[in-house]
């Protein structure tokens, strides 16, 4: 009979294989189909997502005002706000039309936050004022005026959250090859797609990513959400990974220390530090091979966001024969286990866990509003109030019926879970 460690490794390998072959999601987070033409930079949304008239830039000398801004400020400052958010990729964020649609959707429903790509696999999605950061920006089109965007969102009572991809960073790897993961022969290690990753042990790399986070906090983001906060998969078919900066530190401890350092620095600016992690982290006892470990990460972040997409769980996971066909059961069991593990750590807040939920189809059945509604209910029944919907193209019309109308609703638990 295989040992528990072997079973866990097999489950993780299966999960990673599913994530790698998925066309609708990434890592559990993959950006939409790839780079889009950058010939004409998209216009920057102004108030209500509208572009500035007559080519004039929006006036951003004054901060947002009114009840909406007060709501967004309270969400950013509060210790335990219930955040219900939508993911917005770089292309949607650069489109005035798409931003108008997303703001309107938030205005009419319980959605009160948008998670926006500001640093993804293609580099930065804004023009940094720091020359050292700007050299890592990449060649993709970028937002023209981030302050105008955050002011607009806050004026509508929407919390701006900046998503930053950290260690899967081929742009920074190209500019700073001294920060890369190496092969035993000293050459740069590359994944199955030929992409170089940066070494999570490198302290200069930490300073760069946390510095970007601090710059974005000063531009109006109330939360920094770190993604790809992990090591690359150690596939047997690829050369062994060598980490020049490790100095004897374990992989899980490197991830923990990075988040702990980021949290301490971002606390001084009054913003939250959060991290996206694999869904399996909630139920696997020890660290995954990618170095994510619940007990190490939960105490050093304000919120953990496990990506509990039912389609990404292997058959039989959590006692469910067809995980994608039973979204409620997968999300409930995964998040309930997260709550139990947090309780053992003395962490009891209702917003310390905010899962990413599946708003895309991968396999059968296709996902629509009912599947999203079941996942939301599972989160409430497991003891939490917040969630983020993920669609790789940031297109949420097929799932709008699952969103409650009006302001943020209180948590609703089913009788079976009481």
Measured CA to CA, the distance from residue 119 to residue 122 in angstroms comes to 7
- Domain residues for 269? 4-32+64-411
* Residue ranges for the chain with pLDDT beneath 70: 1-81, 408-418
The pLDDT, as a whole number, for residue 75 is 58
Is position 369 within any domain? Answer: yes
Q: Are 114 and 86 in contact (CB under 8 A)?
A: yes
Residue 255's region, left for phi above 0, alpha for psi from -120 to 50, else beta, is alpha
Instruction: Read off the CATH number of the domain in which 206 is found.
Output: 3.20.20.80
Helix, strand, or coil (residue 186):
coil
The phi and psi torsions of 110 (rounded to 5 degrees) equal: -70, -10
Q: Where do runs of H (alpha helix) occur along 109-235?
A: 131-134, 146-155, 170-175, 203-218
Q: Rg of the chain over CA atoms, in angstroms? A: 20
Is position 216 within any domain? Answer: yes
Is position 40 within any domain? Answer: no
Measured CA to CA, the distance from residue 203 to residue 396 in angstroms comes to 38
Domain count along the chain: 1
The pLDDT, as a whole number, for residue 406 is 80
Is position 56 within any domain? Answer: no
The pLDDT, as a whole number, for residue 418 is 43
Q: What is the 3-state secondary structure (H, E, C) of 314-360?
A: CCCHHHCCCHHHCHHHHHHHHHHHHHHHHHHCCCCCCCCECCEEECC
Is position 267 within any domain? Answer: yes
pTM of the model: 0.83
Is position 271 within any domain? Answer: yes
Is position 163 within any domain? Answer: yes
Is position 212 within any domain? Answer: yes
Q: Are 281 and 16 in contact (CB under 8 A)?
A: no
Q: Greatest CA span in the chain, whole angstroms?
A: 72
Name the percent of the chain in helix, strand, coil, to the closest 5: 40, 15, 45
**Other CB atoms within 10 Å distance of the CB of residue 146:** 25
The pLDDT, as a whole number, for residue 302 is 97
Type and span of the H or E element at 6: helix 4-21
The pLDDT, as a whole number, for residue 121 is 87
How does strand 123-124 pair with strand 113-120?
antiparallel
Helix, strand, or coil (residue 401):
helix
Q: Which residues contact 159 (CB under 8 A, 6 or more apart)?
A: 72, 75, 76, 81, 83, 85, 112, 113, 114, 153, 222, 223
The pLDDT, as a whole number, for residue 73 is 60
How does strand 272-278 pair with strand 223-227?
parallel
């Amino acid at each position: 009979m295989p040992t528990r460690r072997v079973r866990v490794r097999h489950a993780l390998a299966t999960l990673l294989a599913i994530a790698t072959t998925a066309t609708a999601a990434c890592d559990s987070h993959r950006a939409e189909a790839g780079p889009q033409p950058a010939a004409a930079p998209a216009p920057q949304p102004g108030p209500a997502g509208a572009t500035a008239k007559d080519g004039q830039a929006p006036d951003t000398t004054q901060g947002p005002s009114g009840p909406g801004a007060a709501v967004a400020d309270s969400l950013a400052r509060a210790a335990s706000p219930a955040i219900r958010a939508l993911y917005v990729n770089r292309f949607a964020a650069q489109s005035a039309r798409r931003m108008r649609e997303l703001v309107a959707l938030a205005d009419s429903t319980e959605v009160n936050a948008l998670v926006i790509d500001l640093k993804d696999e293609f580099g930065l999605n804004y023009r940094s004022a720091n020359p050292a950061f700007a050299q890592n920006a990449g060649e993709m089109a970028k937002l023209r005026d981030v302050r105008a965007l955050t002011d607009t969102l806050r004026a509508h009572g929407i919390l701006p959250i900046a998503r930053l991809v950290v260690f899967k960073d081929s742009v920074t790897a190209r500019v700073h090859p001294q920060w890369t993961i190496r092969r035993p022969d000293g050459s740069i290690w590359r994944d199955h797609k030929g992409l170089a990753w940066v070494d999570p042990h490198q302290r200069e790399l930490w300073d760069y990513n946390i510095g970007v986070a601090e710059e974005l906090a000063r531009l109006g983001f109330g939360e920094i959400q770190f993604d790809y906060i992990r090591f690359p998969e150690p596939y047997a078919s690829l050369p062994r990974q060598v980490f020049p900066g490790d100095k004897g530190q374990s992989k899980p401890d490197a991830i923990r220390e990075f988040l702990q350092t980021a949290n301490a620095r971002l606390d001084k600016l009054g913003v939250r530090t959060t991290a996206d992690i694999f869904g399996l982290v909630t139920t696997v006892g020890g660290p995954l091979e990618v170095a994510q470990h619940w007990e190490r990460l939960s105490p050093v972040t304000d919120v953990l966001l496990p990506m509990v997409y039912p389609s990404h769980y292997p058959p039989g996971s959590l006692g469910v024969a067809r995980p994608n066909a039973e979204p409620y059961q997968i999300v409930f069991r995964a998040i309930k286990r997260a709550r139990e593990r947090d309780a053992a750590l003395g962490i009891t807040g209702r917003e310390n866990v905010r899962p990413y939920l599946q708003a895309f189809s991968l396999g059968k059945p296709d996902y629509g509003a009912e599947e999203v509604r079941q996942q939301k209910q599972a989160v409430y029944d497991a003891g939490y109030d917040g969630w983020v919907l993920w669609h790789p193209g940031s297109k949420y019309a097929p799932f709008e019926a699952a969103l409650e109308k009006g302001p943020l609703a209180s948590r609703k638990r089913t009788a079976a879970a009481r």
